[in-house]
Structure 1
């Protein structure tokens, strides 16, 4: 415990609907991981800042009246807000606009693929609400100090020094070997303790059992549904940040959110136990390896028993560590393994193209041309053919009966 904190918040849930925009972008986990890989590759400086009481730095652009807080109430008197207090629906967006405008004034440009990432010819800034990371070469230390002073003249900030924690992610560096690890051991400790799954002896060796999970034939009560949703939500955050090994499990558990059975509860518990037993595992970016983007894709044909849909997934690696991944069920029913593999390859290609666009915007040129790995020869033949035609004698699924 470092300090106690308190602030006055507004009941934004009681605000009447309006036509004003409320969506505020947040930093994509993929963008954060890409920058960590590049920092390992070129031994970049990673520094962190925290904007103190960030939202009230923004001025409101609409009239908002509130009941005065306890201790300040007067009969017949209400308050009009002039600043974007925490809790208002538009406060996150107003803060993002303010911070973005300040960074633009300081000579940085926003990346089109990532609205929470700004760059110039020597500095990269990325932020998640009020947590700010700035990245630069050691040779630009004086410029970085000047930038920090200019930013602190705009609003109050706390200099947290070297980047060690970010959104519950532990960042460990071995600069002599140009290595960076990302680990969520503390977060996993917390969720295992919350669900009382941290005292069990031993842990599963895999996040999911071999037996398939089937829909619940009965109706779960609200308490069970809420508990299951909390477990899966906790699992999902680890799955999308640093643990691609549970991506498939998290996607499968998410299909039963509205009506979980006891088997589903047990499967969620197993995944949390697996995470707890492997909580010190993390992602390693090795700067000694070439900065080559490698993409792997695969599909499992008609493996969903209830609807006979196929599963697909992809993994993208940079400097030896994963920067993006996804595993889930395909939207349509495919009639052959080749068709399933082709859909998986298409999804991976789209994500790879978006990643290349982000590389261009941060002025990064990968060491080699993009290479996407697929293990289906028929699919490879199709994408390399001048006149692609899907010909297969396999018809394992009758789509007219599904």
Structure 2
């Protein structure tokens, strides 16, 4: 039983998934019609949740093997191949010995082990060191995908990471494999919109015009009002629409922040009581306070110039022209060149986002903590 219906990590079931009916239908339709798809949004808009939600669709479950791999932490083809191998092995476990052995017989280069107990339940052992030749294992993986006994869907989250791999030619390599893999469909999800746009919409890049494009925006406010009120009422509680609207406006409807705030407000509201707008600030303070030691440690470890620029961008809210004399003077920064250097570090570490000429702090709760303390 779920004690709090506002899930902040992972996917549980359709009951706890807010809205996205149109997006779900479009995604399923694209895949079942044989198309590959690029799914693009800002981070924390719950792309992962949408994909997992679609993977639970009865038609998808009946027809396809589904594999979801997050490559955010990968830096090379070897990392990618390891992550994908592990996901496929885990994804095939529920289908039993025969399904696993089919993959194992295809991926002969993997120096790992799989064993089965007396009931046929598998035990897997796979480490990064088991990838002896990334190119060989990748070839074997695609051979498996193209010859699996069911069609496959492979969702690759944070796909923009491949543009930064140390090998430098991964887009072309993957594009070649994917265009010849008729038994699998691919979802390329990404949160850096300009990078994802460049990968799929630049004529000189390998993936140019090879996919359908889907942009994920905030869930409409009325859907969130209905969703939140339904779950409060299920436990004998009430929440006013003005509370949900207040939270929605503060965080621009970004799903994870909505869920985190509603999760906290739900816990604060006793059965038989009503959550009203006066409770929002208290809930926000509670959430931000729970992260304060993490934020202090992050700031302590951050180079001074990056820290100064991060605070300046946070105070500005939606910052533009941050190397201009006016911005540098306003926030007492050193120089345009030092701002450029600090900016590079903040973008690489995902402390800030840059879209359509606007710089913003990525973690909105961190931004609130910074404004309160600096």
Instruction: Name the TM-score class by shorter chain.
Output: under 0.3
Q: Give TM-score scaled by structure 2 length.
A: 0.27
Q: Which has the higher helix share?
A: 2
Q: Which of the pair has more CA radius of gyration?
A: 1
Q: Give TM-score scaled by structure 1 length.
A: 0.26
Q: Which has the higher strand share?
A: 1
Instruction: Choose between structure 1 and 2 for higher RCO, CA contacts under 8 A separated by at least 6 residues.
Output: 2
